[in-house]
């Protein structure tokens, strides 16, 4: 494994089931391509002050079907721009999942994790081992990522991966 | 030898494989890439990839739909960037403002997608186009950039869920009510990562406009694609495109992950209540709910057939006092047709507002957004908090019949009683 940052440790923001891209970033803010503008309004529909409170290195833990709804990549871009280091959810909606991976943003499927975690808990995520350590010391495993998805994440995102493939091999 | 689903047949062809199986990752050659304003977002990663040219401009279609006409200088600028990009890249099928439509409708009505095609769209409701017997999936900006640069996309071959629909619907009840019922049954993630294929006598009897509604809202089941076999109805719909037509259907002995058999015999109108498309109630249970806004628009239900339904109910009637009823056709072609048929005059006489085609209100972008204390009944496909404006606004999803009947009465109304 060539993880640049293969371990994350941070406090958790919790969310429920069926968090849609409309919750994450409202359609009315999409008339720009500026990632900071998306970040400033992240989760406004849930908590208007959230974007001000979240800190770099924080984690998100959510229930089922996180990121359902539109294909707007502005949703994972907003969360990544704010410095959220990873999202752990019972399950993800498919386009959100792809978009996040393509940005090199770890999204980890961890069935059953949500009910074991409270807001503010500090979790440790070990990408190489595929483990999440809860404050109690309990260890939960997240679902292994398919090899091609892991490759994209390890490359730092899809753009970096394609660039590497297109450039003449240096070895 | 076990047979194959439509999905497996198309993905095998597109990846030049003999056969493919669910769960397998394939590298697909894209037959059609279509984009709306997301192209502007995709340009950032596209420029970073650095191929400079798109892989094949003749396989790309672009239209403007989310913000038509542009409501802010920033969006006007975004449109300029897209226009300029299409010009320099030689993308002939760029449908500018004036020739525009909501992208899924535009692709469908112009016959750009055909059975057997691997279609990729920069929007989650690309699923709609699968109604012609294509594999049509939505993606985000970085994937879009990757397809623009390489013409290829990795895809996990999805399992297929078959939804077999039987029975004769009640009056003034249609595909929208059926799909709301299906979503209410499976939940809004009941088909996550899967392909959904509709079949059964009710589906086979549906004309294309209704088939599009079914596939459109497979997105609200979490599905990767929605599809219907390409038959004689499909062939007639696509005839004007002048491309060779090849039927496609799943083999009888194909392996379906699951089959839902849904009996809709005698079923009446359905409504998805705030704020989840799976929060289903039969119309009788929400009748009498006061509304402020009724919206007939979007890629889901704003085709000419939907406008005819609205006009049929509105003729000689008035929109209730204090209610704004906005009708926004899904494309310029539909606008023109509505004009020819005299529908627009009926809308105006009734006190409704008729606008140029855009996604605007559907995603709370512009041209009709909701205030916090407003209640809206809408023919669109999503009602998550904040979808159509304020996060406090309440949105009910329903058919064109129910939306129009409610607009006339100022409260949610069973259209069979109008
Ligand atoms: S009409 Fe609504 S659902 Fe359809 S493409 Fe536009 S924004 Fe998306």
As a whole number of angstroms, the distance between CA A81 and CA B156 comes to: 28
pLDDT beyond 60 at A1: no
Percent of chain A with pLDDT over 70: 95
Going from the Cα of B361 to the center of ligand 1, the distance in angstroms, rounded, reads 9
Query: Which residues lie across from B270 on neighbouring strands?
Result: B282
Instruction: Give the pLDDT confidence score for residue B2 in this predicted structure.
Output: 84
pLDDT beyond 90 at B320: yes
What is the per-residue burial (b if ≥16 Cβ within 10 Å, else e) of B162-184?
bbbbeeebeebbbbbbbbbbbbb
pLDDT beyond 60 at B88: yes
CB contacts, 8 Å: A164 with chain B = none
Backbone angles phi, psi at A79, to 5 degrees: -70, -40
**Once rounded to an integer, what is the mean pLDDT over residues B249-267?**
97
CB contacts, 8 Å: B387 with chain A = 20, 22, 27, 69
**Once rounded to an integer, what is the mean pLDDT over residues A81-96?**
96
pLDDT beyond 50 at B56: yes
Q: Which tens digit of pLDDT belongs to each residue from A90-109?
A: 999 999 999 999 999 999 99
pLDDT beyond 80 at B118: yes
**Once rounded to an integer, what is the mean pLDDT over residues B267-292?**
98
CB contacts, 8 Å: A159 with chain B = 45, 48-49, 142, 145-146
The answer to whether the CB of B113 falls within 8 A of the CB of B136 is yes
**Element holding B65 (H helix, E strand):** none
Number of domains in chain A: 1
The answer to whether the CB of B303 falls within 8 A of the CB of B387 is no
As a whole number of angstroms, the distance between CA B158 and CA B389 comes to: 34
Percent of chain A with pLDDT over 90: 87
Confidence of residue B188 (pLDDT cuts 50, 70, 90): confident
**Once rounded to an integer, what is the mean pLDDT over residues B61-87?**
98
Is residue A88 domain-resident?
yes
Report the CATH number at residue A34: 3.20.19.10
0.95 surpassed by complex ipTM = no
C-alpha A111: how far from its chain's center? Answer: 15
Q: Which residues contact B236 (CB under 8 A, 6 or more apart)?
A: none
Whether B370 contacts chain A with CB within 8 A: no
Is residue A31 domain-resident?
yes
Is residue A68 domain-resident?
yes
- Chain A, chain B: beta-carbon pairs less than 8 Å apart: 136
The answer to whether the CB of B103 falls within 8 A of the CB of B123 is yes
* Structure token pair of residue B245: 């037509």
Compare all CA atoms of chain B with the CA of A64 and give the residue at the minimum distance.
B189
Compare all CA atoms of chain A with the CA of B367 and give the residue at the minimum distance.
A28
Confidence of residue A168 (pLDDT cuts 50, 70, 90): confident
**Once rounded to an integer, what is the mean pLDDT over residues A122-134?**
93
Is residue A138 domain-resident?
no
Range of the domain at A72: 11-122
Mutant choice from B81, B124, B152 vs A, greatest count of A C-beta within 10 A: B124
CB-based contacts of B318-323 (< 8 A; 24+ apart in sequence): B318/B350, B318/B351, B318/B408, B319/B294, B319/B350, B319/B351, B319/B352, B319/B407, B319/B408, B320/B407, B320/B408, B320/B409, B320/B410, B320/B411, B321/B410, B322/B292, B322/B410, B323/B291, B323/B292, B323/B293, B323/B294, B323/B407, B323/B410
Instruction: Give the pLDDT confidence score for residue A169 in this predicted structure.
Output: 59
| Lowest-pLDDT choice from A5-19, B61-75, B266-280, B370-384 | A5-19
Is residue A5 domain-resident?
no
Compare all CA atoms of chain B with the CA of A31 and give the residue at the minimum distance.
B75
State the closest ligand 1 atom to the C-alpha of B365, by its place in the atom list counted from 1. 7
What average pLDDT does the structure give for chain A? 93
CB contacts, 8 Å: B146 with chain A = 102, 158-159, 162
**Once rounded to an integer, what is the mean pLDDT over residues A129-139?**
95
Going from the Cα of B299 to the center of ligand 1, the distance in angstroms, rounded, reads 6
The answer to whether the CB of A95 falls within 8 A of the CB of A119 is no
Supply the DSSP symbol for B247: -
pLDDT beyond 60 at B210: yes
What average pLDDT does the structure give for chain B? 97
B275 preceded by cis ω (within 30°)? yes
pLDDT beyond 50 at A162: yes
Best mutation site among B128, B220, B380, B382 for ligand 1 pocket (most ligand atoms within 8 Å of CB): B380
* Structure token pair of residue B78: 């975004």
Percent of chain B with pLDDT over 90: 99
Instruction: Give the pLDDT confidence score for residue A171 in this predicted structure.
Output: 43
Instruction: Give the pLDDT confidence score for residue A4 in this predicted structure.
Output: 52
With residues binned 3-state (H G I as helix, E B as strand, rest as coil), the percentages for chain B, rounded to 5, are: 40, 20, 40
Which residue's alpha carbon is nearest to atom 4 within ligand 1? Answer: B299
Taking a contact as any Cβ pair under 8 Å apart, which residues of chain B between 375 and 394 contact chain A? 382, 384-387, 389, 391
Separation in Å, CA of B418 to nearest CA in chain A: 33
Going from the Cα of B97 to the center of ligand 1, the distance in angstroms, rounded, reads 17
**Once rounded to an integer, what is the mean pLDDT over residues B273-302?**
98
Is residue A111 domain-resident?
yes
Q: Is the pTM of this model over 0.90?
A: yes
pLDDT beyond 70 at B352: yes
pLDDT beyond 80 at B19: yes
Compare all CA atoms of chain B with the CA of A152 and give the residue at the minimum distance.
B154
Q: Do B146 and A162 touch (CB under 8 A)?
A: yes
Is residue A161 domain-resident?
no
Going from the Cα of A80 to the center of ligand 1, the distance in angstroms, rounded, reads 25
Ranges of beta strands (E only) in B128-235 are 135-138, 152-156, 160-166, 195-199, 225-228
Is residue A157 domain-resident?
no
């Amino acid at each position: 494994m060539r993880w640049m940052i293969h371990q994350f440790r941070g406090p958790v923001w919790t969310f429920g089931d069926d968090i849609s891209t409309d919750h994450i970033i409202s359609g009315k803010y999409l008339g720009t391509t500026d990632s900071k503008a998306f970040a400033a309004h992240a989760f406004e529909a849930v908590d208007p002050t959230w974007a001000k409170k979240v800190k770099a290195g924080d984690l998100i833990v959510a229930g089922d079907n996180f990121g359902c709804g539109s294909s707007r990549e502005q949703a994972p871009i907003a969360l990544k721009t704010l410095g959220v280091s990873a999202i752990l959810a019972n399950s993800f909606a498919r386009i959100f999942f792809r978009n996040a991976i393509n940005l090199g943003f770890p999204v980890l499927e961890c069935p059953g994790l949500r009910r074991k975690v409270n807001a503010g808990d500090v979790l440790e995520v070990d990408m190489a081992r595929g483990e999440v350590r809860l404050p109690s010391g309990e260890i939960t495993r997240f679902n292994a990522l398919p090899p091609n998805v892991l490759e994209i994440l390890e490359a730092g995102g899809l753009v970096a991966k394609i660039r590497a493939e297109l450039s003449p091999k240096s070895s | 030898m076990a047979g194959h689903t439509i999905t497996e047949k198309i993905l095998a062809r597109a990846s030049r494989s003999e056969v493919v199986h669910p769960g397998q990752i394939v590298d697909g050659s894209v037959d059609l890439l279509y984009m709306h304003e997301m192209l502007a977002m995709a340009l950032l990663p596209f420029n970073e990839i650095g191929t400079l040219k798109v892989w094949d401009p003749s396989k790309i279609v672009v239209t403007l739909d989310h913000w038509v006409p542009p409501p802010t200088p920033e969006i006007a600028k975004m449109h300029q960037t897209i226009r300029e990009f299409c010009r320099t890249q030689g993308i002939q099928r760029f449908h500018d403002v004036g020739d525009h439509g909501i992208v899924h409708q535009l692709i469908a009505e112009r016959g750009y997608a055909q059975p057997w095609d691997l279609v990729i769209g920069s929007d989650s409701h690309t699923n709609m186009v699968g109604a012609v017997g294509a594999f049509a999936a939505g993606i985000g900006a970085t994937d879009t950039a990757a397809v623009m640069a390489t013409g290829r996309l990795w895809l996990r071959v999805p399992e297929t869920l078959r939804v077999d629909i039987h029975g004769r619907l009640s009056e003034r009840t249609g595909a929208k009510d059926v799909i709301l019922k299906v979503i209410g049954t499976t939940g809004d993630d009941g088909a996550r990562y899967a392909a959904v294929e509709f079949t059964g006598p009710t589906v086979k009897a549906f004309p294309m406009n209704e088939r599009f509604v079914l596939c459109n809202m497979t997105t609200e089941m979490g599905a990767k694609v929605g599809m219907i076999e390409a038959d004689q109805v499909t062939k007639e719909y696509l005839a004007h495109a002048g491309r060779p037509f090849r039927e496609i259907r799943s083999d009888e002995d194909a392996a379906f992950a699951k089959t839902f058999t849904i009996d809709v015999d005698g079923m009446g109108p359905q409504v998805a209540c705030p704020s989840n498309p799976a929060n289903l109630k039969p119309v009788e249970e929400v009748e009498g709910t006061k509304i402020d806004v009724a919206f007939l628009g979007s890629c889901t239900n704003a085709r000419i057939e939907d406008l005819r339904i609205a006009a049929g109910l509105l003729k000689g009637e008035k929109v209730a006092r204090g209610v704004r009823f906005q009708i926004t056709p899904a494309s310029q072609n539909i606008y023109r047709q509505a004009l020819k048929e005299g529908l627009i005059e009926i809308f105006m006489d009734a006190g409704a507002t008729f606008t140029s085609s855009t996604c605007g209100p559907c995603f709370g972008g512009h041209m009709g957004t909701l205030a916090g204390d407003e209640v809206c009944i809408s023919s669109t496909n999503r009602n998550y908090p904040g979808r159509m404006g304020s996060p406090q606004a309440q949105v009910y999803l329903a058919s064109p019949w129910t939306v129009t009947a409610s607009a006339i009465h100022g409260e949610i109304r069973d259209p069979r009683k109008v």
